[in-house]
Amino acid sequence: MSSPATAPPAPSNLKRIVAASLIGTTIEWYDFFLYGSAAALVFNKLFFPDSDPLVGTLLSFLTYAVGFAARPLGALVFGHYGDRLGRKKLLVLSLLLMGGATFAIGLLPTHATIGTAAPVLLTVLRLVQGFALGGEWGGAVLLVSEHGDARRRGFWASWPQTGAPAGQLLATGVLSLLTALLSDEAFGDWGWRIPFLLSGVLVIVGLWIRLSVDESPVFQQALERAEAKSAQDERTPLVSVLRYHWRDVLVAMGARMAENISYYVITAFILVYATTSAGVSKQTALNAVLIASAVHFAVIPAWGALSDRIGRRPVYLLGAAGVGLWMFPFFALIDTGEFGSLLLAVTVGLVLHGAMYAPQAAFFSEMFATRMRYSGASIGAQFASVAAGAPAPLIATALLSDYDSSTPISLYVIAAAVLTVVAVAAGKETRHRDLAEVASGAGTAPAASRKEDARAR
């Protein structure tokens, strides 16, 4: 019998909550990925014009990586206040920060206008983007996980995850359209600004939808219980996470390695590799990522639903192993220079990535108690991104520059896949856990976890 906290909500209410999380995450990822695509295509010329083209690309990706460095700080700050004040308030703030920074990039003078101040300002705005995204992900997936039907949590919680391919699809689609309509000179002069300025319109739509949803009922009940205690009995979320869930944090970080690294190699670095090593045009590479992102969007809910049937770990392990095995064929297909082969390489890579990304939302949510769930899920996910997604395009570009071969890049992704397989295999299956049973907080978290683990086995 379901507890009140986990009883299935009204379908219309749940769909509105899913829509609010999905649209918000789509906007956030649109802003974040737009920067990555622009870094690969034009930022090396606009902000680092005195460098060799490949060195300029490296410097451009370095500012891209800076955004990841700010994500752990965002995870700590948003996680702390999200576990204290609620998920909804922090999600509104993250959307405002991300949208404002992206809009400002669209207005930013280039190196030709203000000199070295241009890349400095670009880096500052990238830091704001990373800080906002570090707090966005945990809140978005928790809002759905804590509202949703426990029996289909993997499916419903996977929908905010589709915000990543949807954002990639939107960002790549806008860039692809502009590069098709504008000459290279016009795109470099002013066309690149249009996608960044569009973020202002998207943020207004996202805010309107997010402000219309209710706070998580699981969080509200946990907060009421906490308020009934003496204030000194409740530790800060970060302290509680490190005391009761440090193993889960390590599992989450390891699980993120292959997922994060493979994604940015497949979607961001490919724009460099395909155009410089395989002789593919910029438009062709963008079109391949565009179509593959649409497929990625479609398969994520299917992988999430499968995780409800067979478990989070089996689906995740399938994705990690698959991505590792696909890397050598991935680059071999791109090297043919044919659009069909390029499309096949990216599509299969993203389908396998989806097997990791889809169950991740429910998997990480189910690891932690409610009053430390935002902190735990965010810390596990975002601290890993510093070592995984942040340097991935940078490392891949450096390896290509040094070895003029895709083999070291393939081995890099394979090593990450091995690490993820080990981490996920070391974790416990969580799909049977009831979020209400771990809603009581730090004082009873160990007992609740033992009960859940026994049932999972």
Q: What are phi and psi of 388, to 5 degrees?
A: -105, -85
Query: pLDDT-based confidence at 450, cuts 50/70/90?
Result: very low
Using pLDDT thresholds of 50, 70 and 90, give the confidence band for residue 13.
Answer: confident
Helices 237-244 and 373-387 sit at what angle, rounded to 10 degrees?
A: 80
On whether the CB atoms of residues 216 and 224 are closer than 8 A, the answer is: no
Q: Looking at per-residue confidence, does 294 or 381 come out higher?
A: 294
DSSP state of 9: P
Residue in the structure block whose two tokens are 């800076």:
66
Sign, Cα dihedral of 78, 82, 83, 85: positive
Structure-block tokens of residue 46: 């606009």
Residue corresponding to tokens 């209400």 = 436
Burial label, 431 (beta-carbon count in 10 A; 0-12, 13-18, 19+): buried
pLDDT tens digits, 104-138: 999 999 888 888 888 888 888 888 988 988 888 88
Quick check: helix, strand or coil at residue 149?
A: coil
DSSP H or E run through 79: helix 71-85
pLDDT score of 408: 96
Mean pLDDT of 75-88: 83
Summarize the confidence of residues 97-102 as an average pLDDT.
88
In this predicted structure, the answer to whether residue 449 has a pLDDT above a threshold of 50 is: no
**In this structure, what are the phi and psi dihedrals at residue 206, rounded to the nearest 5 degrees?**
-65, -40
pTM of the model: 0.81
Mention every residue, 6+ apart, whose C-beta is less than 8 A from residue 139: 78, 82, 87, 88, 90, 91, 94, 374, 378
What's the rounded Cα separation, in Å, for the pair 155 and 307?
A: 8
Rounded average pLDDT over 271-287: 86
Average pLDDT, the chain: 83
The CA angle 257-303-12, to the nearest 5 degrees, is 115
Question: Is residue 277 a contact partner of residue 400, using CB atoms and an 8 Å limit?
Answer: yes
CB atoms within 10 A of CB 253: 22
pLDDT of residue 226: 63
Q: What is the pLDDT of residue 330?
A: 97
Q: What are phi and psi for residue 110, nearest 5 degrees? A: -95, 180
Name the nearest CA neighbour of 303 among 257, 361, 253: 361
Judge whether residue 143 has pLDDT over 90.
no
Q: DSSP letter at 187? A: I
User: Could you read off the pLDDT of 362-392 as tens digits, one per residue?
Assistant: 999 898 887 788 888 888 888 888 888 878 8
**What's the pLDDT score for residue 203?**
83
- pLDDT confidence of residue 5: 41
Question: 140: pLDDT confidence band, cut at 50, 70 and 90?
Answer: confident
- Max mean pLDDT among 37-41, 222-226, 369-373 falls in 369-373
Give the single-character DSSP code of 216: P
- Among the ranges given (25-39, 50-64, 354-368), the one the predictor scored with the smallest mean pLDDT: 50-64
Q: What is the pLDDT of residues 252-270, one digit of tens each?
A: 999 999 999 999 899 888 8
User: Contact, 288 vs 375, CB < 8 A?
Assistant: no
